[in-house]
Structure 1
Amino acid sequence: MASIKQNLAGQPLPDFRNSGVILRIMLGVNLLALAAALVQSEGVSDSLQLYIDMASRVQPLLVFNLALLALIGKALQRWPAWVGCAVVLVLAAASAILLSSFLSPVAFDDSGTQRLIRAGLLGGAAAGCLLSYFALRAAALSPALVEARLQALTARIRPHFLFNSLNAVLSLIRADPKRAETALEELAELFRVLMRDHRELVPLADEIALCRQYLDLEKLRLGERLNVEWDLAADLPSELKVPQLMVQPLLENAVYHGIEPSGDKGTIRVHLACRGDQLLIDLTNPCGGGAEHQRGNHMALDNIRERLALYYDLEARLETGEVALADGQREYRVRIVLPCRGRSS
């Protein structure tokens, strides 16, 4: 089952398909090139020009290497750790030799051979430094540490969710005992979800079902004041997995900060669609609360943003904003963008 462990120390090599890993590698290589330029040049102005020259020659080969590593990334993860590291080091050394021979073609005499060997060793050493950095980073974000942090973050979601649901059930016990019994069964199912291991990713359909159950319970409290419009694209992959309790806290925010304080009817709109290799989750609700309610929005949003960073590094993002409509009303919009890669994993 897919887990938060996929991005951390459970694997000997970084995920070369992850945009965060790619960005860090490119930054690391450019920093090494800048250091080399500073060492080789006689002044700051000369070092800047030398760095620009080096970067313009290194970047195309670096991009090619990253693309190649992304293509064979799954195979690297299946191989023994030393084999994967050796492949990366050999690829870096071969690229450095190729770049050196391309920049200064020489015959294979003693001096030319020594220069190529030196270039290969430097390339391998640079790759080794970057692998060491990723190993240290993985150790710092070890599964035990990050999973404990993730559990703590998830636990912060629960209070409002449970208290509001219990209040909704209590209000029905005398007025409609049968519906109260059904609501208790739904609440028991929600408790079961909360008791799961939140380190694991779950099918998108399960997260949507959880959200519908939550909204059914809230509708018991708010009645006709709460209206929800679901817009689910037909091409949503059923096997796609997402973090648990990712959309539900947003709906809770929409109810608590948008519908409940307004005293009028309101509509929450939820749209899910795939665009290329990304899953888009858009949620819109009216702005019904005052300053106190708006301040409260940010705890759940920061919670989700941090959990997305733990799961996906830089490949996921959460965007929020308040928009003024033509009729003078205001609405709050939230968008989550997740990678769809590895749908079956």
Structure 2
Amino acid sequence: MLRILLGVNLTALAAALVQSRGIGEWMDRYIEMAAWVQPLLLINLALLGLFARAVRLLPARWGQSAVVLLAVLSALLQFDFWRFMGLEDGGWQSCARAAMLAALAAGGMLSYFEMRARMFSPALAEARVQALTARIRPHFLFNSLNAVLSLIRSEPGRAEAALEELADLFRALMRDHRDLLPLADEIALCRQYLDLEKLRLGDRLNVEWEVEAVPADVVVPPLMLQPLLENAVYHGIEPSGEPGTIRIGFARKGGELHVWLVNPCAGGAETAKGNRMALSNIRERLALYYDLEARLETREETLPDGSRAYRVFIVLPCRGSPP
């Protein structure tokens, strides 16, 4: 809706510039044109929102034709209403022009959305590749295997459990990542990852989870949190040499899912670079899945004890799993 509002209004602004005799008349001409365009645009958006489900059931070309026909009919009805009110005295040529302009505006927006869909059609498949680029670093595999080897004789049961978790983790990384998955699965994957890092870091790594009344069927992009947790471990806990705590929280606020992650801030150029790489990857995948409905924010903050922390805050539309 935002793109339609902007697109049609920018088109009207350009048309007003072409029709005006000078820059001074530009805005006056646009205001006159907006009196025609805005009611028509809002009525069409309301009708499309009301009948969106029915339109989606039609074949693509039939649906596009229905949208153009709706724009033409609404333009004709509006023109007839203005003429009935005495605000327009044009004949059939003016009526035909209004219908043609409405059809061109609707067709132009539909062409834009079709072109955009074609541009992004490989992007959903590419999301799988992007998710794999946010994979666990190779040295994590070697470190985890070395940690398991050190436990084989002293704690064989714990070593066996760690190998099973490692296998589950890499199996999750290699599966198809085009579809959303339940939040519970993402949390389980993150717990497995942190358990493996706990083998290596011991008491230096502490984790606090906060989950506030999040429905079990809420779905999220796969591997949304693991790259952020990996950054938190490698750039927040490991460089400091001191025990540190990673805090992860989830909460539902109306129709949104709020996710936050806080880790100690060790600072340094390498930390900033590593964070930017993972954050860019997450932002790109959120845009692929949710377009403008999701956002990701980061900031450094000072905790009550005077230490510095790095906070990542993510907002997603709260969607349930498909039936």
User: Given the two structures, how large is their TM-score scaled by the length of structure 1?
Assistant: 0.85
Q: Tell me, yes or no, if structure 1 residue 246 matches structure 2 residue 224.
A: yes
Deviations 1:176-205 (A, max 9, x none): 222111100111111221121011211111
Provide, for residues 91-136 of structure 1, a one-character-per-residue CA deviation record: whole Å limited to 9, x for no partner. 21233234434444478x9953332232122101110111111111
Measured after TM superposition, the shift of residue 59 of structure 1 is 2.8
Distance of 1:289 and 1:174 partners within structure 2: 38
Instruction: Specify the code of the residue in structure 1 equivalent to 2:123.
Output: V
1:169 equivalent in structure 2: 148
Show the counterpart of 1:87.
66
Are 1:268 and 2:246 counterparts? yes
What is the DSSP-based 3-state SS (H/G/I as helix, E as strand, rest coil) of the residue aligned with 2:96? Answer: helix
Q: Residues 132 and 174 of structure 2 are in contact (CA less than 8 Å); yes or no, is this contact kept in structure 1?
A: no
Structure 1 CA distance for aligned equivalents of residues 50 and 187 of structure 2: 32
Alpha-carbon contact 2:182-2:321 (below 8 Å) kept: no
Q: Select 1:189's aligned residue among 155, 168, 173.
A: 168
Q: Which moved more, 1:95-104 or 1:117-126?
A: 95-104
Match of 2:311 in 1: 333
Letter in 2 for 1:245: L
CA 1:56–1:278: 2 relative to 1, 3 Å: farther
1:40 pairs with 2:30:
no
Q: CA 1:91/1:214 → structure 2, altered by over 3 Å: closer, same or farther? A: same
The reply to whether residue 258 of structure 1 matches residue 236 of structure 2 is: yes
Quick one: distance in 1 between partners of 2:34 and 2:219? 39
Name the residue aligned to 1:149: 126
2:97 is the counterpart of 1:118:
yes
Partner of 1:4: none
Distance 1:263 1:128 in 2: 61
- Aligned partner of 2:300 in structure 1 is 322
CA distance in 2, matches of 1:71, 1:115: 30
Q: Which amino acid aligns with 1:158?
A: R
User: In the alignment, does 2:78 pair up with 1:76?
Assistant: no
Identify which range, 145-154 or 177-186, moves more after superposition.
145-154
Q: How far 1:322 moved relative to its partner? A: 0.6
Query: In structure 1, how many angstroms separate the alpha carbons of the residues matched to 2:145 and 2:289?
Result: 31
CA distance in 1, matches of 2:56, 2:100: 24
Gaps spanning 5+ residues in structure 2: where? Answer: none
- Aligned counterpart, 1:158: 135
Tell me the CA shift for residue 82 of structure 1. Answer: 2.7
Percent identity of the aligned residues? 62
Q: Does 1:52 align with 2:44?
A: no
Structure 1 unaligned runs (5+)?
1-21
Residue 26 of structure 2 aligns to which amino acid in structure 1? Answer: S
Q: Give the aligned CA root-mean-square deviation in angstroms.
A: 2.3
How far residue 206 of structure 1 moved from its aligned partner, in angstroms, is 0.6
* Number of residue equivalences: 320
Query: Which region of structure 1 is more displaced relative to structure 2, 167-176 or 295-304?
Result: 167-176
Distance 1:69 1:293 in 2: 47
Higher RCO structure, 1 or 2 (CA under 8 Å, sep 6+):
1
Q: 200, 204, 211: which one pairs with 2:179?
A: 200
Q: How far apart, CA to CA, are the structure 1 residues paired with 2:320 and 2:7?
A: 27
Measured in 1, the distance between the counterparts of 2:13 and 2:202 equals 63
Q: CA deviation at 1:60?
A: 4.2
Matched, 1:23 2:7: no
Counterpart of 2:277? 299
1:297 deviates by: 1.3
Of the structure 1 ranges 90-99 and 39-48, higher mean CA displacement relative to structure 2 is found in 90-99
- TM-score w.r.t. the length of structure 2 is 0.90
Distance 2:42 2:216 in 1: 33
